Structure 1
């Protein structure tokens, strides 16, 4: 049986959710679980940063929503709402990007670690990804607002 890691400082942990890839368009879901003992309030969008396999920052333009990345809804759309997570509850956000190489002389960017600041003033939480964020060389990543996890 897998051992659950200790709850990080700040009282929340990240979990890599489902993802999908088709014809260069990628979508992924990241969950934030309140593993602490107090309520945890989220509002708006997380602040994120991608790191490569050597933990160096990946140059990426992070935007709210998927406009300019995908023509159809991707799950990264929606209005931001205040969410209060009781201990054990989760919320998540969607990410959308294209694995698109537009210039073969520019190296393709790959993120293997996701750093998330869930709310202003909170400690950053880190997640080593099982599936890379392969941005190609467009450097664009869309994220959605925090949404309560389905129960």
Structure 2
């Protein structure tokens, strides 16, 4: 992303019918919460015309309500957050119309009263390092407490067919990728 402030995300209707220039669309079917553990689903749809290879974990960046980056540590898997979601990544290729899913996990936990609790209002997701990122609509904040970390599962092929795109969206990602001079660093 060339500037520090996030751009406006497309509406749910636009996101469901348009295809970014990258040929993939990333959305969220929603989140769930129970006893402080939170989970947010991610869905990546190959809305393009070519096969799309995936191997690994989504790359995440979190922003507050003013568009400022929130420094958090992204854990591949859930080992530091809860059990499960630790299947290693496996290479997969999505044909046009196919989709993959992943999960973002965190705990709303305050462990140190001297550290301010954090709420992420915007989530940017890239399919992998160096690929175009997209903002994903959230149905509520990513309320990290003061843990400073989130977990993410590896992409896994889904079986439901994706909706067919009607028109391309402009690519709003940082064209320079992770090596560019973007003022917003990726989460580590």
TM-score by length of 1: 0.88
SS in structure 2 at match of 1:38: coil
Query: Over aligned residue pairs, what C-alpha RMSD do you find?
Result: 1.6
Structure 1 residue 150: Cα displacement: 3.0
Task: Tell me how far apart the structure 2 counterparts of residues 149 and 52 of structure 1 sit (CA, whole Å).
Answer: 30
Alignment pair present for 1:61 and 2:73: yes
Alignment pair present for 1:140 and 2:149: yes
Task: Tell me how far apart the structure 2 counterparts of residues 136 and 15 of structure 1 sit (CA, whole Å).
Answer: 24
Between structures 1 and 2, the one with greater strand share: 1
| Contact 2:31–2:41 (Cα < 8 Å) also in 1 | yes
Structure 1 residue 105: Cα displacement: 3.4
2:53 to 14, 20, 41: 41
Structure 1 residue 29: Cα displacement: 1.0
Task: Tell me how far apart the structure 2 counterparts of residues 137 and 108 of structure 1 sit (CA, whole Å).
Answer: 5
Q: Show CA shifts across 1:2-50 (max 9, x none).
A: 4544211211111112422111111121111111111111001121111
- Partner in structure 2 of residue 9 of structure 1: 21
Structure 1 residue 67: Cα displacement: 1.2
| Contact 1:112–1:128 (Cα < 8 Å) also in 2 | no
What are the residue-to-residue correspondences of 1:66-145 with 2, within 5 Å? 66-70=78-82, 72-73=83-84, 76-145=85-154
Which consecutive unaligned segments of at least 5 residues does structure 2 have?
1-12, 161-188
| Contact 2:118–2:145 (Cα < 8 Å) also in 1 | yes
- Partner in structure 2 of residue 26 of structure 1: 38
Tell me the matched-pair count: 147
Structure 1 residue 107: Cα displacement: 2.0
Structure 1 residue 145: Cα displacement: 0.5
TM-score by length of 2: 0.72
Which consecutive unaligned segments of at least 5 residues does structure 1 have?
none
Between structures 1 and 2, the one with greater helix share: 2
- Partner in structure 1 of residue 159 of structure 2: 150
Q: Show CA shifts across 1:86-143 (max 9, x none).
A: 1111101111110011233322111122112212432112213122211001111011
